[in-house]
A and B are shown apart, each in its own frame.
Chain A
Amino acid sequence: NAGVTQTPKFQVLKTGQSMTLQCAQDMNHNSMYWYRQDPGMGLRLIYYSASEGTTDKGEVPNGYNVSRLNKREFSLRLESAAPSQTSVYFCASSDKDSIFISSYNEQFFGPGTRLTVL
């Protein structure tokens, strides 16, 4: 049981390049999230997916696209990277289907991806 996995762990891009951050969870969770973490800013929600086939914008969606490929996988794409997108990116998942489990509504996080855009 790996929990939430993210690839890659580190990435350096040049301005204008594109890339996709991958996220997968093996906990059968319905909901998945992408956050970015910047110094002094906490975590801010980029996009959210409540279930397979649905996505919703978060607080800072500009410059990003997402794809909920299936229940396990939720990818984040930067079409034309900018220096302002230099950040640490976290994927998370959660499940509110059962209020009887102890982890109800808890978000489980991946290890993060440190992205630098030059």
Chain B
Amino acid sequence: AQTVTQSQPEMSVQEAETVTLSCTYDTSESNYYLFWYKQPPSRQMILVIRQEAYKQQNATENRFSVNFQKAAKSFSLKISDSQLGDTAMYFCASTQGGSEKLVFGKGTKLTVNP
């Protein structure tokens, strides 16, 4: 079965600093999509950033960027200039079996400290 692994259950960072969340995945597909979702205490799932596997260039969205290493099946999320509002659970996800279905990692709880 396809798996997504987030090896850091919890992390903390000081406000304005940079933090990197790790994610590895396992797939036999040649093309697939990778996502990072944020879940703040409100429980709402919010898309942070997405990466298409056939694109070599790493995706960026304002303070959020990814380091996509296709051969290593690694997809880490870097948050620059961390803000208090970044405190949340972060989930890495990968499309599954060539379909739109997603497989999620177990999440990383990020706390941004003032």
Which residues of A does B touch, CB under 8 Å?
Answer: 31, 33, 40-45, 48, 50, 58-59, 88, 90, 92, 94, 96, 105-107, 109, 111-112
Contact = CB atoms under 8 A, between A and B. Distances in A.
Q: Closest 9 A-B residue pairs measured CB to CB?
A: A109-B45, A42-B104, A42-B106, A43-B104, A112-B43, A105-B33, A94-B100, A31-B100, A96-B100
Interface residues of B, number: 22
B62 to A, nearest CB: 15
Contacts of A112: 43-44
Nearest to B91: A42
Interface in B58-114: 91, 93, 95, 99-107
B25 interface: no
Interface in B14-52: 33, 35, 43-45, 47, 50
